[in-house]
Amino acid sequence: MRTQVGIVGAGPAGLFLSLLLHRAGIESIIIESRSRRDVEETVRAGVLEHWVVELMQELGLGERMLREGHFHSGITLQWNRERHHVDIQGLTGGKGVTVYPQHEVLKDLIAARLAQGGEILFGVSGAAFRDVDTDHPSIAFSRDGAPEVIACDYVVGADGFHGPGRQAIPASLRTEYQKIYPFGWLGILTNAKLSWPELIYTNQQDGFALLSTRSPEVQRMYIQCDPADDIANWSDARIWDQLQIRLGTDDGWTLTEGPIFQKGIIPLRSFVCEPMQYGRLFLAGDSAHIVPPTGAKGLNLAVADVLVLSRAMEAQFRHNRRDLLDRYSAACLRRVWKAERFSWYMTTMLHKNLHETDFEQRIHFADLDLVRTSEASARSLAENYVGLPFD
């Protein structure tokens, strides 16, 4: 097989890139280790930045999102049993909050790419990048037990943290930055009615909690926990007790409970790999950077990467301009580090860290109160939340 751009990974980065390249008249093939069903049914949260919503509409992918997504004017911050609405729409000139789960986005992307006649090879194994430092890179893999190779002009590792993409950059040429947080999230899905009209982020008593919605009948909630804890230690009753405590107020509001049909614990970390390119290999999404979900940046950063990359590849293929490809890593990393900063800010401000002093904890509450009392602080949070402009 041969294509202009070979992509490993059918997540947000790989799928958006393939669609953007198709719009520019550039051929691509995606290979993916999971089945299509596994890709589409792995439940992930999803807050879309304003420009991502606009991009989906530009690509003709917005119909189901506009019908089934949830659109809010802002978010709610809570501490000391009091809530404060952050008017994100008013602070950003009309850019609101869109909640549309990542797995639903992936369903839309896969359907659209296949409808275009695009090639997505699911269920492959042993993917490996070859000769990425030459003019003829390729991707080797096995399908149904038979070895295959895709010859490419350029290759993209959109293959997540554990994929082969980052490892194809020599260790001596890459620098990896990482922060492991001493807490994780216990997430649940529950069949329950809507309790609040927008997302609530709270730091109260035992720490963080998040209330969000998936549909009028299904809610998504998280609580801070020990990342090494066993989910078996968390009965449904214990989970609801902690959610009621951490989301509790003094104004008579009550959290609507219901049957929990999914629960699990995820660790939190921040990670960045520099550079995001080597030879004719380019990294995008989680293969190059991880953010804690508190800032709602994961999917959005992946799409930002491939928007930059698609424009650079269009300049190369159409106008024989290599300069944008040469600057890809530097251009992306400016945005990545700003998103890492915002995600770190939201995470440290909203979680109880037993390794911090009481002084540091009080500073976090002061940060929250500054958002309440300072329009400049509120605007900064709002602008970061809906997505900063591109350089």
CATH code where residue 8 lies: 3.50.50.60
Give how many domains the chain has, as a whole number: 1
Residue 391 has a pLDDT of 77
Residue 20 lies in a domain: yes
Number of C-alpha atoms within 13 angstroms, CB side, residue 354?
7
Contact 230, 61 (CB under 8 A): no
Preceding peptide of 275 cis, ω within 30° = yes
Report pLDDT for 41.
87
Neighbours of 324 (CB within 10 A): 17
Which domain covers residue 156, as residue numbers?
A: 2-70+98-178+269-352
End-to-end C-alpha distance for the chain, whole angstroms: 37
List, by residue number, the catalytic residues. Answer: 72, 201, 293, 297, 385
* 63 is a domain residue: yes
Residue-by-residue pLDDT tens, the chain, 391 positions:
999 999 999 999 999 999 999 999 999 999 999 999 999 988 777 899 999 999 999 999 999 999 999 999 999 999 999 999 999 999 999 999 999 999 999 999 999 999 999 999 999 999 999 999 999 999 999 999 999 999 999 999 999 999 999 999 999 999 999 999 999 999 999 999 999 999 999 999 889 999 998 888 889 999 999 999 999 999 999 999 999 999 999 999 999 999 999 999 999 999 999 999 999 999 999 999 999 999 999 999 999 999 999 999 999 999 999 999 999 999 999 999 999 999 999 999 999 999 999 999 999 999 999 999 999 999 999 999 999 998 7
The verdict on residue 217 lying in a domain is no
Range list of β-strands (E), 56-113: 70-72, 75-79, 82-86, 97-99
Report d(CA 354, CA 181) in Å as an integer: 11
Has residue 77 been placed in a domain? no
- Please give the pLDDT value at position 266: 94
pLDDT at 77: 98
Measure CA 343 to chain center: 11
Residue 383 forms part of a structural domain: no
Distance CA 251, CA 129 (A): 58
Going by the DSSP 8-state scheme, the letter that residue 276 receives in this structure is S
CA 23, CA 4: separation in Å to the nearest integer?
14
Q: Is residue 363 part of a domain?
A: no
Asked whether residue 365 is assigned to any structural domain, the reply reads: no
**Would you say 134 and 104 are in contact if contact means Cβ atoms under 8 Å apart?**
no
User: What's the pLDDT score for residue 43?
Assistant: 74
The answer as to whether 222 is a domain residue is no
Q: Are 139 and 8 in contact (CB under 8 A)?
A: yes
